[in-house]
Amino acid sequence: MTSSSSKRAQTPYVELQTYTNYSFLRGASHPEECIAEAARLGYQAIGISDYHSFAGIVRAYRAAKEHNISLITGTRIPLFHELPTYQAEWNTITEPSEVQPQQFRPYTLPVSLLLYPSSREAYGRLCAMLTKGKLRAPKGLCFLQLDDVRETHQGLHAIVLIHDLGHPAVLETLQTLKSIFTHDRISLAISHTYGPEGLRRMDQLSDVSKLSAIPLVATNDVHYHSADRRMLHDVLCCVRKRCALEHAGFALFQNGERYLKPPKEMIRLFKNYPTAIRRSEEIANIAMQFSLSQLRYDYPHEICPPGKTPFTYLRELITLQIPTRYPDGIPSQVQTQIEHELSLIKELKYEKYFLTVYDIVQFARSQDILCQGRGAAANSAICFVLGITAVDPKHINLLFERFISKERNEPPDIDIDFEHERREEVIQYIYQKYGRHRAALTAAVITYRTKSAVRDVGKTLGLSEEQIVALIKVLSRSSEDTRSELDFLSRGINPQDSLIQKCVQLVETIRGFPRHLSQHVGGFIISESPLCEIVPIENAAMPNRTVIEWDKDDIETLGMLKIDILALGMLTMIRKALAYINEHYPSRTPPLALHTIPGEDSQVYAMISRADTIGVFQIESRAQQSMLPRLRPRCFYDLVIEVAIVRPGPIQGGMVHPYLKRRNREERVSYPNKKIEKILSPTLGVPIFQEQVMELAVVAAGFSLGEADQIRRAMASWKRNKNALAAFEDKLINGMRERGYSQAFAERLYNQIKGFGEYGFPQSHAASFALLVYISAWIKCHHHA
């Protein structure tokens, strides 16, 4: 459900104070769980208000659309009367628990604010304010003052949270806030905390409301979606405060009531404050005027010279670069492919993206920094012609729709490897060209895995170090379904111990919870408008780096384009080796370079077939050295297969032995028809690459390219959802049966796909790596150290 100015909350109560686990060690439920529970309870809308962050809001947005509920986008900010003095050690902080907020308490005011934007412009100003607060604070904190709020307040609704009712500055602070926000844009939160103290606090808040003339709004201060998460919330609180559960005391909530309650229950609890209930609906109806669907992302304009459109300039560059790639003339099939790609790029308005990537690659080359694009981009003839990728489309069967497709509804993603010693030069070039307000790295969400979960939960519950180490071994080597009491007993752990059982239960729940944000290995977002008005930006742990709060899945959801600026040590080795060779053979014409290394050298393939590959990229492992004498690569495409086939997926899918037998003519290859033969003949009837799976789904089972890409995405998401492929089983098998294929063929093909789905390798990626395999092998063969 998309929010709009005409949409209204149709229930008399809307929860506006909900914290998810993207409040990092504060909320005890995923955003998706909060949204799903709200929908189940009958809410028409819910406000997410994570602590000074929008890190989880896109996940909530996706879930809200799925459950047909309106998401109200908000955040909680602290207020400081004085900014703490900057400390150099703040730069070394990598996660929130490394800094204790209580050390900054003397600087804080006795109130915090929940802020909800009611327009796209107000949201942008709120993001910019959060960015300002984050850039002046240690990681995980946000330093903001009333002056910051005064500059940003337009279009925001403020809900005031009073921490200390006895603080002498409460009324003065409220009057200041009231002078900033108009009467209809400010409210005072009142929560039912239960017990005599809770009732007294509600009466006191009512008195403060009357004195300040700020209306009350009811909230339940929700920190988890379900009452059974209370224990987990206590544990997270202890992790954040670095204390054991038995010593936590008043640091924990006094009861387990801070879960999402049904609207009717909230109305009953606040029967003495009916206007506070109605106020929640009034605020919701204002705040629902903004939705993340209103965000518009625009790519930078300056990559196009004056007087030219991005499309005409892209075509001009392609025309200029064709003679460099094809001095003897461009093959007709490549020219046809280029025209096909150009038409899609123009229709989907991706011209600026390609021009930006081209500019970055040109900068690297101008500085003699070796680079090569890989991944799905290697399916693009345009990327090859522009020098972004290095694999000639003549050598592989391109599937451009693996990279860009109208049906995918997913932006392209170009990965570029640079020399690992000089990648930082490229990163700083991007910052310098576009400015830090328009360019930043994407985030990586560091989540709890078994080891970190057992450590944090175990310490909190008071387990000994020996118990923690033993429990890590048990839980790391078995799943919840296969684990037995013997697994515990063999490690000296009593599985009937209630503390152990509680620890295991909590670990299973917390696994996958976000621990903190880190930076993506190299994913850059660049925008025309200030990026800090789309998403908050914070300092990275590394010097001279800034990071947005959203990860690759978030930006994909919102249609934002990412460029991966990656590092590869082999490129550094190759550049240094080529420089050394040219220095010692100055008479060589032309000087040795990537594009002048002779191709299809029989001596190189002979060396590879002998498994003399120590120091050669990708094929020096024992598994590869065992395979090489059996596969005996004789051409470039053999190397593409070699890179992909020695992986867990093809081995588990039963593909390796059939392929080797057919390659050695020990087994006959047969195909049910010419269409299947065209797809599988390059790999002797065995589907090895993701692109082949996509083509098979289209040709044999009647899938559209968009549906086929969903299979590819299911294979790519196996770590998050191991059963993702199972959703396609019936449609694949039935689709093949309807088109005349036998049940045996359909099931065999599906099982092969299922077997290697967890590790399915893109042909385009394998081809990019195979090129580096060949180049490093050629250097070893002809210029051995």
CATH number at residue 241: 3.20.20.140
Portion of the chain with pLDDT greater than 90, in percent:
69
Where in the sequence is the domain holding 662, given as residue range(s)?
588-782
Portion of the chain with pLDDT greater than 70, in percent:
93
Name every residue whose Cβ is closer than 8 Å to that of residue 679 and which is 6 or more positions away in sequence. 692, 695, 696, 699
Answer yes or no: is 439 within a domain.
no
**62 in the same domain as 156:** yes
3-class SS of residue 136: coil
Question: For the residues of 268-311, what is the DSSP string, one character each?
Answer: HHTTT-HHHHHHHHHHHHHHTT--GGG------STTS-TT--HH
Nearest residue to 712 (alpha-carbon basis) of 403, 299, 312, 291: 403
Answer yes or no: is 533 within a domain.
no
User: Can you give the pLDDT at residue 482?
Assistant: 72
**Mean of per-residue pLDDT scores for the chain:** 90
Beta strand pairing call for 562-568 and 413-419: parallel
**186 in the same domain as 82:** yes
Beta strand pairing call for 108-117 and 75-80: antiparallel
Residue where one domain finishes, among candidates 294, 326, 346:
294
Q: Indicate whether 569 pLDDT > 80.
A: yes
User: Can you give the pLDDT at residue 8?
Assistant: 47
Give the Cα-Cα-Cα angle 7, 9, 11 (nearest 5 degrees): 150
CA distance 471 to 479: 13
pLDDT tens digits, 526-538 = 999 999 999 999 9
Buried-state track 578-603, b at ≥16 Cβ within 10 A, e below 16: beeeeeeeeeeeeebeeeebeeeeee
**144 in the same domain as 31:** yes
Name every residue whose Cβ is closer than 8 Å to that of residue 548 and which is 6 or more positions away in sequence. 440, 441, 442, 443, 525, 531, 535, 536, 537
Answer yes or no: is 765 within a domain.
yes
Q: Indicate whether 594 pLDDT > 90.
A: no
Answer yes or no: is 364 within a domain.
yes
**316 in the same domain as 265:** no
Question: pTM score, two decimals?
Answer: 0.88
Answer yes or no: is 685 within a domain.
yes
Name every residue whose Cβ is closer than 8 Å to that of residue 384 and which is 6 or more positions away in sequence. 325, 378, 390, 391, 392, 393
**290 in the same domain as 333:** no
Question: Burial level of 481, CB count in 10 A (0-12/13-18/19+)?
Answer: exposed
**187 in the same domain as 76:** yes
Question: For the residues of 25-67, what is the DSSP string, one character each?
Answer: SS--S-HHHHHHHHHHTT-SEEEE--BT--TTHHHHHHHHHHH
- CA-based Rg of the chain, rounded to a whole angstrom? 30
3-class SS of residue 748: helix
CB 368 within 8 A of CB 735: no
3-class SS of residue 446: strand
Q: Indicate whether 79 pLDDT > 70.
A: yes
**138 in the same domain as 51:** yes
Name every residue whose Cβ is closer than 8 Å to that of residue 85 and which is 6 or more positions away in sequence. none
User: Can you give the pLDDT at residue 1?
Assistant: 42
| 411 or 345, which is more confident | 345
Give the Cα-Cα-Cα angle 760, 761, 765 (nearest 5 degrees): 160
For 82, the token pair is 């004085």
Considering its fold, how many domains does the chain have in total? 4
pLDDT tens digits, 482-535 = 788 888 888 899 989 999 999 999 999 999 999 999 999 899 999 999 999 999
**281 in the same domain as 406:** no
3-class SS of residue 538: strand
pLDDT tens digits, 97-120 = 555 556 677 788 999 999 999 999
Residue where one domain finishes, among candidates 294, 326, 358:
294
**595 in the same domain as 506:** no
| CA atoms lying within 13 Å on the CB side of residue 311 | 11
**416 in the same domain as 502:** no
**475 in the same domain as 352:** no
Answer yes or no: is 581 within a domain.
no
Q: Indicate whether 4 pLDDT > 80.
A: no
Reply yes or no: is the peptide bond before residue 629 cis, omega within 30 of 0. no
Answer yes or no: is 440 within a domain.
no
Answer yes or no: is 537 within a domain.
no
pLDDT tens digits, 724-751 = 778 888 999 999 999 999 999 899 888 8
**364 in the same domain as 284:** no
Residue where one domain finishes, among candidates 495, 511, 527:
511
